[in-house]
Amino acid sequence: MDFKETETYFNLARSYAGECQAGLRYQFIAKLALQQGYKTMSDIITEIAKNETNHAKVFFDKIIDLAGVQENIDVCGSYPFTGGTIEEGLKFAMEGEEKESLVVYPAFRDIAKKEGFNDIANTYNMIGEVESHHKIIYNYLYESFKNDTLYKNENPILWKCSNCGFQVTTKEAFRICPLCQASQGYVELHLPYKKEK
């Protein structure tokens, strides 16, 4: 069967388009966070945006490797136009990552496997795992931002200025770094990490 006639071919193109768009949407959120003084949050979101761009490249390379250069791949998919505030952007990002990791990529993985593309199925599996971790990070950022607990904790924890390295253990991060005068947005955040199975 011609690869260009398979569902996997079109799924790779949809995945490429989706990852490109997600990466750009996340850059919009990161820019807004930076403009509002949330430097470390912006850095975290920028890193995730970079991950999405690299996922797009993986899908792009699979298409080129198996189908060669294509002038056009006509794909049909729905792509969100979301954002607005930081809180809205974080919420939509969290929901998007959840959908990719739990619904879209598992379905694409199963189709690839059924069509005999085990390498592509494995790629969807690995990227899906990364997306599930992104969902955890976005969930934490969204909930903390929404509830004004981004720089607070029930128990004393280490807060570190990403600008100069000053650190202190308290329940709430300093509003202005006493050493370099950087704003609270430069305080490193305590992100949750997905535990290995």
CATH number at residue 83: 1.20.1260.10
pLDDT at position 72, please? 86
**pLDDT at residue 124 greater than cutoff 80:** yes
- Together in a domain, 130 and 41: yes
**CA 184 vs CA 150, 156, 159, 189: distances in Å:** 10, 17, 10, 10
- Together in a domain, 22 and 75: yes
- Together in a domain, 156 and 138: no
Is residue 173 one of the residues assigned to a domain?
Answer: yes
Residue holding tokens 């607070």?
Answer: 152
pLDDT at position 128, please? 97
**CA distance linking residue 4 with residue 146, whole number of Å:** 45
- Together in a domain, 172 and 141: no
pLDDT at position 194, please? 59
pLDDT at position 80, please? 73
**pLDDT at residue 38 greater than cutoff 70:** yes
- Together in a domain, 105 and 177: no
**CA 148 vs CA 40, 140, 141, 144, 145: distances in Å:** 16, 12, 10, 6, 5
**CA distance linking residue 4 with residue 110, whole number of Å:** 18
Is residue 121 one of the residues assigned to a domain?
Answer: yes
Candidate from 38-47, 56-65, 164-173, 188-197 with smallest mean pLDDT: 188-197
- Together in a domain, 136 and 169: no
pLDDT at position 196, please? 53
Domain holding 180, by residue range, is 152-186
Please count the structural domains in the chain: 2
**CA distance linking residue 60 with residue 79, whole number of Å:** 18
**pLDDT at residue 83 greater than cutoff 80:** no
CA-angle at 114, arms to 111 and 120, nearest 5°: 60
- Together in a domain, 118 and 158: no
Q: What is the mean pLDDT of the chain?
A: 94
- Together in a domain, 27 and 78: yes
- Together in a domain, 127 and 163: no
pLDDT at position 195, please? 58
- Together in a domain, 80 and 175: no
- Higher pLDDT residue, 150 or 81? 150
pLDDT band at 177; cut points 50, 70, 90: very high
Tell me the mean pLDDT in the region 16-34.
96
